[in-house]
């Protein structure tokens, strides 16, 4: 009946079109390249991609270096982290913060989390962002920020409070 049709439609809306592994990885590398090259000096990887003392790398060499640097990460993880970081860079610029988004300051991160809350972002958006920063630091190595200092208890607590709003998972279409 109509109730079944509504349930099916609801399910169809929740199912994402699966992207191929290569598509996810390609989109992720493109996002990460833009972020890292905003100000190459803010990461060790950026410094390697845009060397000051030697000849510049070609676009192909930069792309290959990024693919190699992030090769140990699964495509889905890479995509999730790249999207969270891209959203942060857009938010940083939207909030008119001065400087580079990767010259992390506790105040800027706190105001960004407030922005996520005001924008009614999902309950996991703040914690996903923090995971993305840790991920970026583990691979690209942030040179202008110490995550231990900028990810203050105020920041991690804010993200945790947001995460607690997450609705419990529900099983769909369970056979009786």
Asked whether residue 151 carries a pLDDT value surpassing 80, the answer given is yes
**What is the per-residue pLDDT across 72-91, written as a single tens digit (0 to 9) for each?**
999 999 999 999 999 999 99
SS (H, E, C) 12-68: HHHCCCCCCHHHHHHHHHHHHHHHHHHCHHHEHHHHHHCCCCCCCCCHHHHHHHHHH
Whether this prediction's pTM lies above 0.85 is answered by no
- pLDDT of amino acid 11: 61
**What is the per-residue pLDDT across 109-130, written as a single tens digit (0 to 9) for each?**
999 999 999 999 998 999 999 9
């Amino acid at each position: 009946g109509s109730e079944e049709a509504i349930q099916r439609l609801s399910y169809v809306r929740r199912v994402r079109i699966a992207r191929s592994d290569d598509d996810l990885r390609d989109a992720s590398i493109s996002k990460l390249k833009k972020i890292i090259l905003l100000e190459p000096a803010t990461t060790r990887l950026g410094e390697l991609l845009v060397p000051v003392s030697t000849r510049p790398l070609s676009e192909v060499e930069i792309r290959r270096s990024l693919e190699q640097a992030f090769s140990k990460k699964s495509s889905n993880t890479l995509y999730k982290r790249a999207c969270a970081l891209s959203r942060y860079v857009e938010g940083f610029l939207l909030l008119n913060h001065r400087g580079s988004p990767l010259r992390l300051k506790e105040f800027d991160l706190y105001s960004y989390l407030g922005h996520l809350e005001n924008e009614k972002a999902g309950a996991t958006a703040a914690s996903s962002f923090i995971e993305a920063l840790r991920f970026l630091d583990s691979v690209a190595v942030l040179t202008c920020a110490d995550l231990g200092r900028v990810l203050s208890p105020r920041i991690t607590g804010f993200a945790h409070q947001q995460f607690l709003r997450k609705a419990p998972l529900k099983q769909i279409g369970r056979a009786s």
